[in-house]
Amino acid sequence: MQRYLLRRILLAMVTLLAVSLIIFVMSRAAGDPRHVYLDDYSTQEDWDRLTATLGLDKPYYQQYGIFLGSALRGDFGQSIKEGRPSMEVIVERIPATLQLGLAAFAFSVIVGVPLGILSAVKRGSFLDMAGKVVALVGQSAPVFWLGLMLVFLFAVRWNDWFGDSLVPPYGRQEISSIILPAVTLGWFYAAANLRLLRSAMLNVLDSEYVKLARAKGVSNNIVIWKHSLRNALIPVLTFAGITLGSLVTGSLVVETVFAWPGLGQLAIQALAGNDYPLLQAVVIVFTLMYVAAALSVDIMYAYIDPRIRYS
Amino acid sequence: MTTSTTENTAPVVLEVDGLKTYFETRWGTVKAVDGVSFNLRRGETLGIVGESGSGKSVTMLSLMRLIPEPPGRIVDGQILLEGQDLVQMNDKEMSEIRGSQIALIIQDPMTSLNPVFSIGNQVGEAIKIHQDIPKRTVVQQVLNVLRKVNIPAAETRVRDYPHQMSGGMRQRVVGAIGISCEPIVLIADEPTTSLDVTIQAQYLKLLKELQEASNIGLIFITHDFGIVAKMCDRVAVMYAGRIVEMGDVRDIFNHPSHPYTEALLASVPKLEEDVDRLYSIEGQPPTLHDLPTGCPFAPRCQYVMDKCLETYPLQFDVTDSHYAACWRLE
Amino acid sequence: MAADATLVVQQPAVPARIARKLWQFRRWPLIPMFFLVLFVFTGIFAPLIAPHDPERGGLRDRNLPPAWEEGGSSEFLLGTDHLGRDMLSRVIFGARISLAVAGVTLGVGMVIGVASGLIAGWYGGWLDEFLMRIVDIKLAIPTILLALVLVLALGQSFLIIVAILAIAVWPRFARNVRGEVLQLKTMDFVALAKVAGASTPRILFIHIFPGVINTLIVLATLEVGIVILLESTLSFLGAGVPPPTPAWGSMVSDGRDRLAVAWWISTMPGLAIMLVVLSMNLFGDWLRDRLDPRLRQLN
């Protein structure tokens, strides 16, 4: 167990290091990094000061050291567009992104898990068919398009029925604003959960230990919800660990589509405004969030599967 | 071989009469069990022998009412456990009986325990379901049962998970689950196939002792006549969903009356004989959705007669307690 | 009995024979296969098929609806966009971009993945450990984030997009090929080849590689969908193949602010993406079940 966790934590740290290295290399590969911050109107003094802060007169490995040092302090330099420290801009945006991520996660669990279980238990039923459609659309439709289609349907086509306030298509002014973005972002995950859980449940329900549990006189409901679900969740969690990345990717897209003022939207704004200092900070923070989420999935995994806990 | 009482006068606890279990598949109706009748007395061990696909496992699942429905269904027959017909019971009544009055020990100890629950949890579950007793007593009972199946250091072992135990130990845990509520009838479905020989012998001995101690009616499902000889009082030989021969173990071994039984016995390697050729039965067991009229064994039978191809053989008594379904006995 | 009568087997009539032949294909994913063939075909022959120039439009023809809607014209079957460009032609040319990106990416990613998978699996030891940790790290970094950094630093171009996507796909190939090699390595025919004095490259390519081809085909079909989705997402975010090249993702983005007036601008290219990815997934699932049921856990 300890070895398992240690390995995971180590991997998380190496991942962060790798991302920082990529960002550093790219900032140098793009040309003189000073051009990013300074323009023709800057004085020689400005140039010299920046040279010293970035350590441009030193060898590359020392420059990386300086970069890493300030990154650890949360200092990623000034955002060009905003004219204030990148970290400051980011901190304001974190709550919105977390809120959306959690809502999407909740949606994917609320839809994906029961539908996955039921379509395994009642194989071939109407519910199973419906689940199949949800899963196929979720895995094939691009997230950005799905979002736009939902906006089109709810805000344009069916506007007469829903009105503007029930499911507002843009911004984050009202509580109900989160519905459309969360559904869009959660759909892919719901589909993946559904598919995985269905096939895992089918395997488990067919297993000898479920047969034995039934032979003990355990009722059908307890067989499904206690004996089977816990085993079936193992592959689902593995998947969650591997593809949490798509939640990050998705939030970039969904926040852009729905004008949701979070980190994802910020990243795209930084891209559009050539704001490298801001983008690098967003990327680091995103990776940090992602790595932390993956790590907590690993811990949960160990909790559910005793074979990992005790080895 | 057991020195059991040849004349068993104990009360009958399980009576199966004309049991038919069919499966609806894409290729048609599979008659997995097609009219099986037998009875079991208290303290008696009945062996059910046959190749895979002969219907012995489906018989076992039917007795537990664990046939997956659909596609399977018990279409006809009675299963009387101390006079109550299990076929007529609803799910709730049945789950009260399962595990408490009729219990099961499953084939493969490596896969029959749930990997995510501790041993104590899994043994205790049956006790908790069937007996209304406080938690402390459940723990005590679990320990008792584990000791009964000779698990050393049961106090510490209860907290273990299946993957921390050896195959032999796990098999004992499965056995412990089977006897935990002191059932009247215990069904053991090839409980030793994946164990090595010494552990297998130990386990069989233990099972025999447990059975004698609580006077359980034991049904032993296997394809191994060697085990039958060691464990059973009576044997039923199954082929293509029906019992083709049934009788006392000694009668069957000494006078096999159905050609299939004969062939099965001939295929058991014997130590004292010179084994330069292993006997095997020619041909494949029939596919159950497309049974020929007449005797299903006829295509593989060395004594086949015209009549065998036309009508299914009647049962003929060899002795009072021994019958076989073969036209040669007519 | 009836045995004599059945000896004369009647030849079924011709229509029945054809019906039987067709019946064999009933489990084939015919509809997905049709769409995939269509996708590849339009991608390759786009200039010959497209009725209009995808990059030139007339201001008079702006925001025309599809032919079946009120006000649509049969000249522009799927309508026109905000610059008066023919949607159908743009969707057809978009297929070309997606096809090219997916093809090149998969080719590059597969070569890198297979090579490192073969090496890691065959040599084992620190080399294996090293390569597999790189795979772990790569799988732990969200591709899109990496893409944004690279695009902002190095600029937008077809080459950079392909490079980014190739980086995204190779780890999966590497990991699966490595797993296969570990199994194949212990087989007798490999030992025999060694005894016969075959060189390592020879063993790897003549004896091991054919064993992983099934896995590769299945994996590749499943990855195509992922690559197309990634590419279109990058295009949508403005980090894809640079405009005015008509990529499906950027076309959806064009229609974003015009949903109320011209819903078809976003809908049509998105539908095309979904159709291709859906077909690819269904085809891949079928292929996996046929070629390599062990891969069922994948995806």
Q: Which range marks the domain in which residue C90 is found?
A: 62-296
Report the pLDDT value the prediction gives residue B206, as an integer from 0 to 100. Answer: 83
Q: Is the pTM of this model over 0.90?
A: no
Q: Which of B63, B95, B128 to mutate to test the interface with A (most CBs of A within 10 A)?
A: B95
pLDDT of A257 strictly over 60: yes
**What's the order of all strands across the beta sheet hosting B102-105?**
B102-105, B185-189, B217-222, B45-49, B234-239, B242-248, B322-324, B316-319
For residue C81, what is the domain's CATH number?
1.10.3720.10
Which range in B94-98, B278-282, C174-178 is most confidently predicted, on average pLDDT? C174-178
Mean pLDDT (whole number) for B6-24: 80
Which of B95, B106, B107 faces A217 most closely, judged by CB atoms?
A: B95
Report the pLDDT value the prediction gives residue B274, as an integer from 0 to 100. Answer: 52
Report the pLDDT value the prediction gives residue B273, as an integer from 0 to 100. Answer: 52
Band of the pLDDT at A165, cuts 50, 70, 90? low
In A, minimum Cα distance to B111 occurs at A208
Q: Which residue has the higher pLDDT, A198 or B291?
A: A198
Name the least confident of A305-309, B224-228, C134-138, C262-266: A305-309
User: Cβ A215–B96 below 8 Å, yes or no?
Assistant: no
Give which of C248, C238, C168 is closest to A268, Cα–Cα.
Answer: C238
Which of B125, B164, B174 faces A218 most closely, judged by CB atoms?
A: B125
DSSP for residue A158? T
CATH of domain A88-310: 1.10.3720.10
**How many angstroms separate the CA atoms of B311 and B326, rounded?**
11
Residue B1 CB coordination number (10 Å): 10
User: Cβ B174–A212 below 8 Å, yes or no?
Assistant: yes
Q: Is A283 on the interface with C (CB under 8 A)?
A: yes
What is the nearest CA distance from B145 to chain A, expressed in angstroms? 15
Which residues from chain A sit within 8 angstroms of residue B163, using beta carbons?
A: 306-307, 310
Q: Report the percent of chain C where pLDDT is more than 90.
A: 8
**How many angstroms separate the CA atoms of C259 and A257, rounded?**
12
Report the pLDDT value the prediction gives residue A310, as an integer from 0 to 100. Answer: 65
Q: Which residue has the higher pLDDT, C65 or B235?
A: B235
Name the least confident of A259-273, C228-242, C247-261, C284-298: C284-298
Neighbours of chain B (3+ CB pairs under 8 A): A
What integer best gives the mean pLDDT of chain A? 81
Beta strands B242-248; B234-239: pairing state: antiparallel
Kindly report, residue by residue over C198-228, the tens digit of the pLDDT.
788 888 888 888 878 888 888 888 888 889 9
CATH of domain B12-96+215-329: 3.40.50.300
> C207 in a domain, yes or no?
yes
Which range in A213-217, A261-265, B82-86, C254-258 is most confidently predicted, on average pLDDT? A261-265
**How many angstroms separate the CA atoms of A266 and C256, rounded?**
18
How many Cα atoms occupy the beta-carbon half-sphere of C181 within 13 Å?
26
Q: Which residue has the higher pLDDT, B326 or C16?
A: B326
User: Cβ B98–A227 below 8 Å, yes or no?
Assistant: no
Residue A79 CB coordination number (10 Å): 24
pLDDT of C108 strictly over 90: yes
CB pairs under 8 A between A and B: 79
Phi, psi (5° rounding) for residue B294? 90, -165
Q: Which residue has the higher pLDDT, A1 or B141?
A: B141
> C116 in a domain, yes or no?
yes
Q: Is residue B288 within 8 Å of residue B251, measured between CB atoms?
A: no
DSSP for residue B286? P
What is the nearest CA distance from C207 to chain A, expressed in angstroms? 32
Band of the pLDDT at C1, cuts 50, 70, 90? very low
Tokens of B273: 């004989």
Exposure of A215 by Cβ count < 10 A (0-12 exposed, 13-18 middle, 19+ buried)?
buried
User: Cβ B98–A216 below 8 Å, yes or no?
Assistant: yes
> C26 in a domain, yes or no?
no
Q: Which residue has the higher pLDDT, C70 or C117?
A: C117
What are the residue ranges spanned by the domains of chain A?
2-72, 88-310
Query: Which residues neighbour B116 within 8 Å (Cβ) at sequence distance 6 or greater?
Result: A230, A231, A304, A305, A306, B161
Band of the pLDDT at A164, cuts 50, 70, 90? low
Which residues from chain A sit within 8 angstroms of residue C150, using beta carbons?
A: 26
**How many angstroms separate the CA atoms of C287 and B292, rounded?**
37
pLDDT of C26 strictly over 70: no
Residue C163 CB coordination number (10 Å): 18
Report the pLDDT value the prediction gives residue B85, as an integer from 0 to 100. Answer: 85
DSSP C15-53: HHHHHHHHHHTTTS-HHHHHHHHHHHHHHHTHHHH-SS-
The SS3 assignment for B9 reads: coil
Beta strands B242-248; B322-324: pairing state: antiparallel
Tokens of A109: 């669990």
User: Cβ B161–A306 below 8 Å, yes or no?
Assistant: yes
> C20 in a domain, yes or no?
no
User: Cβ C232–A136 below 8 Å, yes or no?
Assistant: no
The beta-strand segments (E) located in chain C are none
Report the pLDDT value the prediction gives residue B1, as an integer from 0 to 100. Answer: 39
> C18 in a domain, yes or no?
no
What is the nearest CA distance from A219 to chain B, expressed in angstroms? 6
Band of the pLDDT at A169, cuts 50, 70, 90? low
Kindly report, residue by residue over B216-267, the tens digit of the pLDDT.
888 888 887 878 888 888 899 888 888 888 888 888 888 888 888 888 887 7
Q: Which residue has the higher pLDDT, B65 or C139?
A: B65
pLDDT of A57 strictly over 50: yes
Report the pLDDT value the prediction gives residue B6, as an integer from 0 to 100. Answer: 47
Q: Which residue has the higher pLDDT, B110 or B38?
A: B38
User: Cβ C274–A22 below 8 Å, yes or no?
Assistant: no
Mean pLDDT (whole number) for C169-182: 88
Mean pLDDT (whole number) for B42-58: 84
Mean pLDDT (whole number) for C21-44: 80
Q: Which residue has the higher pLDDT, A113 or B7?
A: A113
Q: Which residue has the higher pLDDT, B166 or C297?
A: B166
* Number of domains making up chain C: 1
